[in-house]
Amino acid sequence: MLFRQIPAGGDRNFAYWIGDEATREAAIVDPSYAPERVWTEAQAERLAVRYVISTHSHPDHIAGNDFFLERTQAVEVMHESAPRAARRRVKDNEDLPLGNLRLRFLHTPGHIPDHVCVLAEGKLLTGDILFVGKIGGTGPNFPGSDPRAQWESLQRLMRLDPATEVWPGHDYGAAPSSTIGREITANPFLLCKTFEEFLHLKANWAEYKKLHQIR
């Protein structure tokens, strides 16, 4: 599998592409504010863009979608609950073929109802549900967000193979990627034993960060 993480401007956004080495078919994920750069890199690899996938409908993630829809035959892919009229709308646990690869979509609401993670050959693109050492925001700044759904989505991701690689939607952590196993033992939010403890940490995150010298 061909795979690349690309810094995409905005709020340290990450764009990605996933490609099948044999057929040179590719999916772009969250091209964000760097569609030209993603496009140039994909062309250098002689990739044909089949899909433009959004982990969720926040503007910083979908900003670069139209660039690809205007220039390629790519089909836009989003969760079925997304407010944008994506041509392909996916459900939880649905697979999408990409050459010889299969992309698996996991519906992971909490930060926003239409959030999906994309799993391809042991790599999990976690968008804004799980960052390295951190998690996505909820509250009044994030319409439709729901801490309980976020907790349940995170518990679900923790049940994946610990070797699963975590590739987040923003460069907010100490490293640009991680694994489920590492996050289970190091991410303060995944170390919470109960939902109440989780809520308490979210409410006191600023102090926690200061106390533990987390940037």
- What is the contact surface with Zn ion in residues (CB under 5 A)? 58, 128
Handedness of CA 1, 25, 171, 158 (dihedral sign): negative
- In this structure, the number of other CB atoms found within 10 A of the CB of residue 80 comes to 15
Least spacing, CB of residue 41 vs Zn ion, in Å: 23
Least spacing, CB of residue 56 vs Zn ion, in Å: 6
Q: Which is nearer to Zn ion, 54 or 178 (CB)?
A: 54
Q: Which is nearer to Zn ion, 41 or 146 (CB)?
A: 146
Q: Which is nearer to Zn ion, 58 or 202 (CB)?
A: 58
Pairing of strands 123-127, 75-79: unpaired
Burial of 35 (0-12, 13-18, 19+ CB in 10 A): buried
Least spacing, CB of residue 23 vs Zn ion, in Å: 31
Given the structure tokens 């099948």, which residue do they identify? 20
Strand, coil or helix: 154: helix
Three-state secondary structure of 60-90:
HHHCCHHHHHHHCCCEEEEECCCCCCCCEEE
Q: Which is nearer to Zn ion, 13 or 187 (CB)?
A: 13
Q: Which is nearer to Zn ion, 114 or 128 (CB)?
A: 128
Least spacing, CB of residue 137 vs Zn ion, in Å: 8
d(CA 159, CA 108): 13
Q: Which is nearer to Zn ion, 137 or 188 (CB)?
A: 137
Least spacing, CB of residue 182 vs Zn ion, in Å: 22
Burial of 82 (0-12, 13-18, 19+ CB in 10 A): buried
Least spacing, CB of residue 24 vs Zn ion, in Å: 30
Indicate the DSSP class of residue 29: E
